[in-house]
């Protein structure tokens, strides 16, 4: 079964451009070798989804060691590429290099359809004694309501992996809006939580933006964005 990766075919958007703040150069305020789980909170503001073609299509990538050569995970939003492509819903995958190891389907949910939708969800990565586990949880959108309230998880063999080299910036750099990027106002990693065996040890509140829709293709710094929020704000109707 081949992995179907659709190219970004938009002309009026910035797709997958990392414009986040630089990663801190100082040592983290915890022992990275003690970390066994991380949770990334993501927010996507959907402008005008196309239900007919299942756009936009978001792909989150997460790795324990900043690499896709070994074991890593993917979460597909508003589409499911395996075992054959279909639009709507979400899917969690684990990979070992170029080989798909496991897939877990979402419940039967249709494509996103509501304009000005605020979607929130958490991508998790954890290591147990012998397993590498990737999950999506705590999802919410206007179209789907609450979803993945119980984590939807796929696993792979852990091998000798540790979380010592995990980087949230790797997730940002490799997460994309594959199709329909012009239909996404903004998508960013809101925060990251780090857990050791005894529980939560640190919360990183640094927002890391990966995609921002623009009427013309141009670079907009996070600082400029924060100074001119009215130019980017859209009305979000909460449930």
Out of 49-53, 104-108, 164-168, the most confident range is 164-168
Structural domain contains residue 3: no
Is the model's pTM score more than 0.85?
no
Q: What percent of the chain has pLDDT over 90?
A: 64
Q: Is residue 73 part of a domain?
A: yes
The percentage of residues in the chain with a pLDDT greater than 70, rounded to a whole number, is 78
- Write out the residue range of the structural domain in which residue 146 sits: 14-20+28-231
Residues in contact with 34: Cβ distance below 8 Å, sequence separation at least 6, in sequence order: 196, 197, 201
Determine the pLDDT at residue 170.
96
More confident residue, 75 or 227: 75
Does 14 have pLDDT greater than 80?
no
Q: Looking at the predicted structure, is the pLDDT value of residue 10 above 70?
A: no
For residues 57-82, average pLDDT: 95
Is the CB of residue 46 less than 8 Å from the CB of residue 117?
A: yes
Average predicted confidence (pLDDT) for the chain: 83
In the predicted structure, residue 16 carries a pLDDT above the cut 70:
no
- State the pLDDT at residue 194: 97
Judge whether 239 lies within some domain: no
Residue 42 maps to a domain? yes
Tell whether the torsion through CA atoms of 226, 229, 232 and 234 is positive or negative: positive
| Sign of the torsion angle spanned by Cα atoms 162, 165, 167, 170 | negative
- Out of 9-18, 35-44, 143-152, 182-191, least confident range: 9-18
Question: Does residue 23 or residue 104 have the better pLDDT?
Answer: 104
Please check the confidence at residue 236 and state whether its pLDDT lies above 70.
no
* Residue positions counted in the chain: 239
C-alpha 20/C-alpha 189 separation (Å) is 9
19 has pLDDT over 90: no
The tally of domains found in the chain comes to: 1
* Residue 108 falls inside a structural domain: yes
Please state, in angstroms and rounded to a whole number, the distance separating the CA atoms of residues 184 and 177. 8
> Per-residue pLDDT averaged across 76-98, rounded?
93
> Tell me, what's the pLDDT at 229?
67
Residue 123 has pLDDT above 90, yes or no: yes
State the average pLDDT over residues 188-200.
96
What's the confidence (pLDDT) of residue 220? 61
Residue 5 lies in a domain: no
pLDDT of residue 108: 66
**Per the domain annotation, does 82 fall within a domain?**
yes
Does 91 map to a domain? yes
Between the alpha carbon of residue 75 and those of residues 20, 23, 57, 202, 210, the distances in Å are 21, 23, 11, 24, 16
**Quick check: 128 pLDDT over 80?**
yes
Coil, strand or helix at 150: coil
């Amino acid at each position: 079964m081949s992995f179907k990766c659709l190219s970004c075919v938009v002309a009026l958007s910035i797709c997958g451009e990392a414009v986040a703040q630089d990663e801190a150069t100082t040592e983290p305020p915890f022992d990275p070798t003690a970390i066994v789980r991380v949770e990334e909170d993501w927010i996507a503001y959907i402008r005008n989804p196309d239900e007919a073609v299942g756009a936009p299509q978001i792909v989150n990538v997460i790795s324990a060691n900043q690499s896709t050569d070994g074991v890593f995970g993917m979460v597909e939003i508003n589409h499911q590429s395996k075992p054959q492509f279909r639009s709507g819903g979400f899917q969690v995958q684990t990979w070992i290099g170029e080989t798909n190891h496991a897939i877990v389907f979402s419940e039967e949910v249709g494509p996103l359809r509501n304009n000005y939708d605020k979607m929130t969800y958490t991508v998790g990565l954890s290591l147990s004694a012998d397993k590498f586990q990737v999950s999506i949880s705590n999802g919410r959108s206007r179209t789907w309501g609450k979803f993945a309230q119980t984590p939807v998880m796929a696993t792979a063999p852990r091998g000798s992996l540790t979380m010592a080299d995990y980087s949230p910036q790797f997730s940002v750099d490799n997460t994309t809006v594959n199709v329909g990027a012009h239909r996404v106002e903004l998508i960013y990693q809101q925060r990251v939580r780090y857990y050791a065996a005894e529980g939560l040890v640190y919360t990183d509140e640094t927002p890391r933006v990966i995609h921002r829709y623009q009427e013309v293709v141009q670079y907009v710094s996070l600082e400029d964005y924060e100074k001119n929020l009215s130019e980017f704000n859209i009305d979000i109707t909460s449930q």
